[in-house]
Amino acid sequence: MDNKVLATSPKLFFGPPLHYCPGCSHGIVHRLLAEIVEELEIREKIVGVSSVGCSARLHMYLDFDFVKSSHGRAPAVATGVRRELPKHNIFTYQGDGDLLSIGLSEAMSVAIRGENILIIFINNAIFGMTGGQMAPTTLVGQKSTTTQNGRNPDTTGYPLRFPELIAPLPGVKYLTRCAVDSPKNVRKTKKSLTFALNLQHTNPGLSLVEILSICPTNLHLSPVKSLDWLHDDLVSYYPLGDIKVPEEEK
């Protein structure tokens, strides 16, 4: 193992190695979480809710408390944790298939109730773990195992921009879209996640940080070409930047 990598790993991060495919974005976000919890000194005051999909083992890589939830149910589980621990930081970590397919009802419900939790939403535009089926975020024309000629909106609808959908709800406080495709954007993602966690103490309500990501395995592209696809195709449909920020925090 490379000692240089180990020497610079955050203390709360049990990795590398990770179980992900080469080029997968999940590991970058895991590492950011370890860095943030360490820097904010909240190891004893944060609970994550891990879910299903390729990131189902998230809790095994991070040295702080987690509750494991079933498919799509992380926001409901996080609500229960919030009721018991009103002063903690609480977050869910969910893929697009998990959050917006089976979990759409739970996701909408926490937005309507304005639950004081953070949803970390990994949008790689596909169901990763189960072999590349269409997700609600799959782009028009994008090939998947269930849209072999490319997604056709006439039969499957249009890709869902979830933050834009829930933005008008008063209990929804902070919505932003980031990407982990360049050092600059990784730093911006870290800033947004930190901002969302701090907001739980100053301006309670639902926060959602969408992180545009890549799944090279199911895109059938190299990691480098997958990043080109992210810049050229994904960002064109899912624009980066803040969607909603509380007036008093601007």
Ligand X SMILES: Cc1ncc(C[n+]2csc(CCOP(=O)(O)OP(=O)(O)O)c2C)c(N)n1
Residue found under tokens 């592209």: 221
**Minimum CB–partner distance for residue 178 and ligand X (Å):** 16
Decide: is 50 part of the binding site for ligand SF4 (CB under 6 A).
Answer: no
102 contact choice in ligand SF4, ligand X, none (CB below 5 to 8 Å, kind-dependent): ligand X
**Cα of 12 vs its chain's centroid, Å:** 19
Non-local (6+) Cβ contacts of 8 within 8 A are none
Cβ partners under 8 Å of residue 224, min gap 6:
23
Name which of 126, 124, 135, 210 is nearest 172 in CA terms: 210
Q: Is 135 in the site for ligand X (CB under 6 A)?
A: yes
What are the CA-CA distances from residue 114 to residues 4, 41, 70, 185, 244 (Å)? 43, 26, 22, 28, 14
- What are the two backbone dihedrals, phi and then psi, of residue 32, each rounded to the nearest 5 degrees? -60, -40
The item of ligand SF4, ligand X, none sharing an interface with residue 226, based on CB under 5 to 8 Å by kind, is none
Return the sign of the alpha-carbon dihedral for residues 136, 186, 48, 172.
Answer: negative
Nearer to ligand X, 85 or 165 (CB): 165
Which residues, 210 to 239, sit near ligand SF4 by CB under 6 A? 215-218
Select from 127-135, 160-168, 194-202, 233-241 the region that touches ligand X (CB under 6 A). Answer: 127-135
Contact between 129 and ligand X per CB under 6 A? yes
**36 lines the binding site for ligand X (CB under 6 A):** no
Q: Quick one: which of 71, 37, 73 has its CA closest to 54?
A: 71
Binding to ligand SF4 (CB under 6 A): which residues in 26-45? 26
Is residue 76 a contact residue for ligand SF4 (CB under 6 A)?
A: no
Count CB-CB contacts under 10 A for residue 59: 18
From the list 37, 54, 100, 175, which residue makes contact with ligand SF4 (rule: CB under 6 A)?
A: 54
Shorter beta-carbon distance to ligand X: residue 186 or 199: 186
Binding-site ranges for ligand SF4 (CB under 6 A): 20-21, 24, 26, 54, 124, 128-129, 215-218
